[in-house]
Amino acid sequence: MSQTPHQDDAEDATGVDVTDPAEETAAEERDARVEGAGSSEDSAGADDSADPPTPTDHVSGSSDPNETSQPSVFTGVDTDDADEADGLDADDTRADDADADDTAEIAPITAPTIQGVRATGAIPIVGDAMPVTGAVPVIRPIYPPKSRTPWIVTTIVLFLLLAGSVYLGWRLWTVNGEWQDYSDQLTQANYDLGEQIAAEQLIVTQKENEVALLSEQLSASNSRLLDVSAEKADALDNDAWNQQIVEQQGNQLSLGQAATASLNSCIDGLENLVEYVSAPEDEYDADQVQDYADGVVELCAAADTATQNFQNAFTP
């Protein structure tokens, strides 16, 4: 099937195919002509071997550069047209094989085809475009074949994720077990330390009680020591004071003894003087008696002095 450029444009614009039987018959006749033209084109394929064959080349069979370079749009066709197109493509394929032999030296650039239709590039338009009349059928789009690479990549990624998840789970399980063991050991250690702390606290409490008791005893001892020290100091004070008293009393005693002795001498002298004076006149010499009386007076004066000193010893 081939079509003129303006027909291509028309079908592109409509995107539909004509289903009128009369038109189909005319289209079949045009197809037959196209096939004949295609054969003639194949004979001249060696001339075009430098250019990669395009669907437009096969379909139109035109050697016009303008016409071959015209972008073609492949729209959908009905089943009959598709079958005819398939047959045409098969012939084209054989013609391409012959061209490949002719162009062995130059590597042909062939587009991948799916069931005879190019998989990439512009979609060729097969058949003649006819005015759209009547009901417009729904055209089934033809999608390009999907690549399997994303699925492969996705599968690999998911597999890696699965493997990673398995490893992660195993690792978490292992670490969790180790941490549980650690926790158990730690708990046991805490209990042991708690028992030690309880025992130490008991000892500390006992020691505190002992310290409190000893502190109380020390305080009492210190208080008693201060009391004893004060008593000792007081005793030393009293001793010093008593020593002073003893010294004072000894001094007073000495003074008293001296006064007593002086008074006794005075008294004895006075008694003797009285005896001398009362004796007959011729018994004692008057001068001697007078001298004795003077001596007695001195003794008594000394006794008065001693007595005064003795009395002064009691005066504070």
Partner 1 sequence: MNRRLIAASLAAVLALSGCAVLPAAPEALPTDWVPEATVDPDTNTAALSPDGFNAAQRMTVRVRNIECRGVSTGTGFALDAFTLVTNRHVVDHAKNLQVSTHDGRLIDVEAASVTTVADIAIITTAASLGGAFAVRAEEDPVEGDAITVVGYPNGGRLTTTAGVILGPADDPIGGAVGTVLATTAVVEPGSSGSPVLNADGEVVGVVYAKNDADQSFIVPVSTLNSLLAQPSLLVPESTGC
Binding residues vs partner 1 (CB under 8 A)? 147, 149-150, 153-154, 157-158, 160-161, 164-165, 167-168, 171-172, 174-175, 178-179, 181-182, 185-186, 189, 193, 196, 218-219, 221-222, 225-230, 232-234, 236-237, 240-241, 244, 248, 316
Give min distance, CB of 200 to partner 1, in A: 10
Task: Write down the least CB distance from residue 316 to partner 1, Å.
Answer: 8
Nearer to partner 1, 198 or 236 (CB): 236
Q: 10 Å Cβ neighbour count for 237?
A: 10
C-alpha 46 chain-centroid distance: 78
Q: Which is nearer to partner 1, 140 or 148 (CB)?
A: 148
Amino acid at 110: T
> Tokens standing for 82?
């598709």
Looking at beta carbons only, is 174 or 305 nearer to partner 1? 174
- Minimal distance in Å, beta carbon 241 to partner 1? 5
d(CA 20, CA 30): 15
The smaller minimum CB distance to partner 1, of residues 25 and 248, is found at: 248
Neighbour-count burial of 3, counting CB atoms closer than 10 A to its CB (0-12 exposed, 13-18 middle, 19+ buried): buried
Cβ of residue 240: shortest distance to partner 1, in angstroms? 5
**Residue 164 token pair:** 């990673």
According to DSSP, residue 48 is labeled T
Beta carbons within 8 Å of 165's beta carbon, 6+ residues apart: none
Smallest separation (angstroms) from partner 1 to the CB of 315: 12
Nearest to 306 by CA among 258, 267, 268, 269: 258
